[in-house]
């Protein structure tokens, strides 16, 4: 893997700092994968990208208003706009809504900046485009680097004017990354934006205190900074996990009486990033990975997972970070699988010792992964964190002793927590 760091005069990142971060990420990846995933990396720090990041941010924010203006017109799906026909309307929308976008989204735009949209190479000038996508057009890879030596390229942008979430993809011939006079393509890549390089990962929730996850670590866990958490997320995408670890939407009224239909509706906008325990989700409670995601990546194998397709009593799983025995269960249901795991506060689950999270140590977690057409979705595995107590406001996602949970004709009950393991029964309805 090649990690390229682009920093202008506002940047303060050196090669030693980013190399240290990747060394930490290597250990973290080894911890989560039980040393089944390893990455070799080279770090190169280069100058700034070839366009002002202040302009790139302005172009991205301008695209919001161009897109809204175009969407108000009568046009066919996939139609490309003519910029001159929407500018006046976009200006009117800007005048009406900019104060809201400044206060709610942090926009700093003082006037529409049409520089990017006016470029003849831009296929659709009215498409809303993130700053990270625009950045790709201005990344120049130093010619001295032999790109054939790398499977993945990371582009890290350090600049106080660039604040965009990371994203991962596969460079195509139409993308703008160049090396010398040649386009760079047929490469897996990811981009990460500016975050506080030394800020530790917080327990990110509005009613929590200012503690960070690592405040509860007493073992040899890696203390991830915000930058490292974002990089880990995109790196796992680059390893092949195309989706996120999802969950029920905390901010809407989930119809728990109709949960099966809600899940089958696959409303990705509601579920995306909704697994609070996963670095591929919200990573607010811990920085683990959903069981089915680890299975997909080969970080756990069939010898470590109970596979259940009929009634079973006294199913026992060890805590999620155990190195011995079976530590997950997957239960076949008509529409997919239910994955069961148990945290006892070990390893990266130690952050669950937080007083508002400790209820998660008193039972088992259940996630749903739907079956998908292997030809159409062969690279996808979508995990959805469920809430057995049907209360998304209490930070507690554990099925505890004395309670039962039913979905798709399967009931999980008779939970017993021993401290090192969890025991439960599985019953299929007739």
Residues 13-72: pLDDT tens digits?
A: 678 888 888 999 999 999 999 998 877 888 888 877 888 888 888 999 999 999 999 999
With contact defined as beta carbons under 8 Å apart, do 279 and 241 qualify?
no
Which DSSP symbol is given to 393?
T
Alpha carbon 373 to chain centroid, angstroms: 23
User: CA separation (Å) from 81 to 71, 74, 117?
Assistant: 10, 11, 11
The model's confidence at residue 265, banded by pLDDT at 50, 70 and 90, is low
- In this prediction, residue 326 carries a pLDDT of 95
* Cβ count near 409 (within 10 Å): 13
Q: Which residues contact 132 (CB under 8 A, 6 or more apart)?
A: 164, 165, 166, 167, 191, 193
Question: What are the φ and ψ backbone dihedral angles of 331, each rounded to 5 degrees?
Answer: -115, 120
- In this prediction, residue 302 carries a pLDDT of 86
- Mean pLDDT, residues 307-331 taken together: 95
- Evaluate if residue 89 carries a pLDDT over 60: yes
| pLDDT tens-place string over residues 209-221 | 666 778 889 999 9
* Cβ count near 100 (within 10 Å): 10
- Mean pLDDT, residues 137-141 taken together: 88
- In this prediction, residue 268 carries a pLDDT of 47
- In this prediction, residue 137 carries a pLDDT of 86
Packed helices 83-105 and 53-71: angle between N→C axes, nearest 10 degrees:
110
| pLDDT tens-place string over residues 342-398 | 999 999 999 999 888 999 999 999 999 876 555 555 555 688 999 998 888 788 999
- Mean pLDDT, residues 256-265 taken together: 76
* Cβ count near 8 (within 10 Å): 16
Q: Which residues contact 43 (CB under 8 A, 6 or more apart)?
A: 3, 5, 15, 18, 19, 22
- In this prediction, residue 83 carries a pLDDT of 93
Alpha carbon 391 to chain centroid, angstroms: 24
Give the 3-state secondary structure of residue 376.
Answer: coil
Q: Count CA atoms closer than 13 A to 247's CA, side-chain side.
A: 28
Task: Name the residue with higher pLDDT: 289 or 247.
Answer: 289
- Mean pLDDT, residues 240-259 taken together: 80
For Cα atoms 305, 339, 264, give the angle at the middle one, nearest 5 degrees: 145
Please give the order of strands across the beta sheet that includes 336-341.
Answer: 245-247, 383-385, 365-370, 336-341, 328-333, 305-308
Distance between CA 347 and CA 319 in Å, rounded?
A: 10
Distance between CA 375 and CA 351 in Å, rounded?
A: 39
- Which of 184, 38, 153, 55 minimizes the C-alpha distance to 112? 55
| pLDDT tens-place string over residues 298-315 | 999 889 999 999 999 999
**pTM metric for this prediction:** 0.88
Q: Kindly report the average pLDDT of the chain as a whole number.
A: 86
Task: Name the residue with higher pLDDT: 208 or 259.
Answer: 259
Distance between CA 313 and CA 296 in Å, rounded?
A: 27
Tokens of 19: 């190399």
Q: 229, exposed or middle or buried, with CB in 10 Å at 0-12, 13-18, 19+?
A: buried
Q: Choose the weakest-confidence range: 14-18, 202-206, 399-403.
A: 202-206
- Which of 169, 165, 167 minimizes the C-alpha distance to 152? 169
- What's the helix, strand, coil split of the chain in %, to 5? 30, 20, 50
Task: Name the percent of the chain lying above pLDDT 70.
Answer: 87
Q: 22, exposed or middle or buried, with CB in 10 Å at 0-12, 13-18, 19+?
A: buried
- The helix (run of H) or strand (run of E) holding residue 147 is none
Q: Choose the weakest-confidence range: 170-184, 279-293, 321-335.
A: 170-184
- Which of 233, 337, 345, 224 minimizes the C-alpha distance to 289? 233
- Evaluate if residue 420 carries a pLDDT over 90: yes
- Which of 406, 428, 425, 413 minimizes the C-alpha distance to 260? 406
Tell me the sheet residues that pair with 180: none
Task: Name the residue with higher pLDDT: 130 or 345.
Answer: 345
Question: What are the φ and ψ backbone dihedral angles of 33, each rounded to 5 degrees?
Answer: -95, 0
Question: What are the φ and ψ backbone dihedral angles of 422, each rounded to 5 degrees?
Answer: -125, 145
For Cα atoms 190, 196, 199, give the angle at the middle one, nearest 5 degrees: 115
- In this prediction, residue 13 carries a pLDDT of 66
């Amino acid at each position: 893997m090649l990690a390229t760091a682009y920093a202008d005069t506002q940047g303060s990142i050196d090669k030693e700092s980013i190399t240290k971060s990747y060394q930490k990420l290597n250990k973290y990846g080894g911890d989560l994968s039980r040393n089944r995933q390893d990455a070799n990396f080279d770090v190169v720090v280069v100058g700034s990208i070839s366009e002002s990041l202040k302009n790139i941010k302005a172009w991205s924010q301008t695209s919001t208003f161009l897109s809204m203006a175009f969407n108000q017109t009568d046009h066919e799906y996939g139609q490309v706009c003519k910029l001159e026909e929407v500018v006046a309307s976009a200006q009117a929308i800007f005048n009406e809504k900019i104060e809201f976008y400044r206060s709610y989204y942090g926009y700093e735009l003082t006037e529409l900046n049409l520089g990017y949209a006016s470029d003849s190479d831009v296929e659709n000038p009215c498409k809303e485009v993130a700053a990270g996508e625009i950045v790709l057009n201005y990344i120049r890879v130093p010619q001295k680097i032999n790109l054939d030596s790398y499977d993945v390229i990371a582009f890290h942008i350090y600049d106080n004017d660039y604040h965009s979430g990371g994203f991962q993809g596969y460079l195509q011939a139409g993308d703008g990354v160049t090396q010398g006079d040649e386009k760079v393509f047929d490469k897996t890549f990811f981009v990460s934006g500016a975050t506080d390089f030394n800020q530790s990962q917080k327990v990110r929730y509005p009613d929590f205190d200012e503690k960070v996850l690592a405040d509860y670590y007493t073992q040899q866990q890696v203390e991830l900074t915000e930058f490292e958490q974002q990089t880990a997320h995109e790196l796992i995408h680059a390893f092949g996990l195309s989706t996120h670890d999802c969950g029920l939407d905390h901010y809407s009224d989930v119809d728990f009486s109709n949960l099966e239909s809600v899940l089958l509706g696959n409303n990705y906008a509601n579920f995306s990033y909704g697994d609070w325990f996963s670095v591929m989700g919200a990573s607010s409670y811990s920085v683990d990975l959903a069981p089915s995601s680890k299975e997909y990546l080969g970080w756990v194998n069939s010898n470590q997972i109970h596979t259940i397709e009929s009634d079973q009593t006294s199913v026992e799983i060890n805590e999620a970070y155990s190195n011995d025995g079976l530590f997950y269960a997957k239960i076949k249901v008509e529409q997919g699988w239910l994955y069961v795991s148990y945290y006892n506060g070990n390893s990266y689950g130690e952050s669950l010792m937080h007083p508002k999270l400790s209820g998660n140590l008193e039972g088992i977690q259940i996630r749903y992964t739907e079956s998908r057409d292997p030809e159409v979705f062969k690279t996808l595995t979508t995990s959805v964190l469920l809430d057995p107590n049907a209360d998304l406001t209490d930070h507690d996602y554990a099925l505890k002793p004395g309670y039962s949970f039913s979905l798709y004709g399967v009931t999980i009950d008779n939970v017993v927590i021993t401290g090192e393991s969890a025991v439960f029964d599985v019953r299929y309805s007739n």
